[in-house]
Amino acid sequence: MARADVGLMEKLHNLWRQSTSSERSVVVLTSILLLGITLSYLYAQSLQRRKLPPGPRPWPIVGNFPSMSGDTPHRSLFKLANKYGGLMYLRFGSVPCIVVSTAEVARELFQTHDANFSSRPRRLVWRVLHNYDDNFKVMGSAPYGPYWRNLRKFFNEEMFSPKCLAAREGIRMEEIQHMSAILLDDAQQGRVVNLKRWLWGVTSNTITRIFCNRRFYGPDQNEQDREEFEQMTAGILSALGAFVISDYIPSLSFIARLQGWEKKFESVYALSTRISEKMFEVEKHRERVLKGRESGQIDMNYVPDFVDVFLTKPLEGGKLFPDEDIILFLKHMLNAGTDTSATMVEWTMAELIRKPDIMKRAQEELDAVVGSRQFVQESDFAHLPFLEAIVKEGFRVHPPSPLPIIRESLQPCEFRGYKLPAKTLLLNNIFAIHRDPAVYEDPDEFRPERFLDRPEINHLAHFSSFELIPFGVGRRMCPGSTLGHVMVMLMLGNLLFRFQWSMPEGLKVEDIDMSEAGGLTMWMKSPLCLVATPRTPLSKP
């Protein structure tokens, strides 16, 4: 024993000998009391843990929040799930959280407790992007309740019903043709194609035409308008993907202030509001609607855009949406409709370049179905089972939002024998569910054939298919899932049918960077750049 330790022990021993018997009794009783309290606390914690799912031991104060840090939290949680199972318990500060990582657990949970886990926790970014109005109105952030149900019904009936989707089929085809002319010109000039940018142009033009009858990409479009549009969408996406520690551990709000999150979100709000007011032109839409009513002349060929719908269709009780709500809804819906579909097709094209035999088989199927026509049409989809299998596999291996917006329970509940308190957070790790070894053999392998053997797996189902859920599941499933699927099929089908794809000169398929980047959406860290060659003599549409 070191000399200093010996000296300390001697001093303590002398103090003990010099103390009175009553003083010694106090010390002993105090020690016993502290030991008892400590043991009781540890025992209570042990009993509490028995009532909760397994999970990693939390850190003091921050809990398991470090598991959410880093560029790819879905992969970090996937590794933890391999150790603790498909239902895992985490704690963010004092806030409980469960993580679902297998199809079996997802099926059990959402068939029995979906309504209870359909609300949203309060987040700083939502408060700021709603201009500090705590009555969150956007569907993605609104708490579960009567308002959210009315809003969901409105979207399903007035915007994303089969009838509404069919009415806008011509818009989708026009934008494919418009952007295909640009791609054909690049191919004929031998230019390398930045596929991400082209895909972003198609999805953006399609969505903005559906929303407000405007186009931002193409040779005849205003460059400043396009740049502002990109600034707005990029800013909102970045803000929504941010992990702010004070959202989960309010006592550490000073850290969020030091990081400047609130000021960053305020800047995004100001920019997006300014740009979206100019972009959606709500007053001009209102004037056109009123003029049409007054004149009694209705253009039967005109398909109302979403601004028109908001201005003419009430939510509940005959009351129309105020202008500020219309702008709020549309600018948040833009991101879901543009970034996710473009990201998914880019990932899928990267996989196909690496597996030319799969690409060839898809092109042979397209040739047989589309024949001498120049473009793949939506009516062809029912006759393209292999293309659909490729799309499903793309969604499985590279879900655009591998860790979607977190949910929150409304009431205490019991699940699998575990007692979960109210306001328990829920994370659906879609990345992990899509790699469930109980469902998929060689889950990391890109193998579309697996869905030809299992056509019953339907990624557009709300409650009947839990093995493939790129658009979410249950009541909180993305309302635009069918539109997203159609856009992916249309873009991918025409890219494969109209062009042969290869690597730029001097590069090999092994040079493709398959690493991820992003936040709420995970895109390719390095944009996919390829050379396009027309497969048959093509003319500009």
104-159 pLDDT, tens digit per residue, is: 999 999 999 999 999 999 899 999 999 898 888 888 889 999 999 999 999 999 99
Residue 309 burial by Cβ neighbours in a 10 Å radius (0-12, 13-18, 19+):
middle
In this predicted structure, the answer to whether residue 22 has a pLDDT above a threshold of 90 is no
- What letter does residue 525 receive in the DSSP assignment? S
Band of residue 406 on the pLDDT scale cut at 50, 70, 90: very high
Sign of CA dihedral 405, 411, 416, 417: positive
Q: Is the pLDDT of residue 416 over 50?
A: yes
Q: 166-206 pLDDT, tens per residue?
A: 999 999 999 999 999 999 999 889 899 999 999 999 999 99
- pLDDT of 362: 97
Q: Which segments within 174-329 are labelled E, that is strand?
A: 193-194
Q: What is the DSSP letter of 260?
A: T
With DSSP H G I counted as helix, E B as strand and the rest as coil, what are the percentages for the chain, rounded to 5?
55, 10, 35
pLDDT digits (tens, 9 = 90+) for 315-335: 877 789 999 999 999 988 887
Instruction: List the domain boundaries for the chain.
Output: 73-534
Instruction: Quickly name the fold that domain 73-534 has.
Output: Cytochrome p450 (1.10.630)
Residue 330 · residue 235 · CB < 8 Å? no
Taking only the tens place, the pLDDT of each residue in 358-390 is 999 999 999 999 998 999 999 999 999 999 999
pTM (predicted TM-score):
0.88
> Angle at CA 250, nearest 5°, toward 244 and 254?
70
Beta bridge partners of 194: 529
Question: What pLDDT shows up at residue 360?
Answer: 97
478 assigned to a ligand binding site: yes
Q: What angle do the packed helices 481-498 and 323-354 form, to 10 degrees?
A: 40
- Give the residue among 17, 257, 34, 6 at the shortest CA–CA distance from 124: 257
- Specify the amino acid at residue 295: S
| Torsion (CA) 463, 465, 471, 477 in degrees, nearest 10 | 0
The span from the CA of 143 to the CA of 25, in Å, is 57
Q: What are phi and psi of 107, to 5 degrees?
A: -60, -50
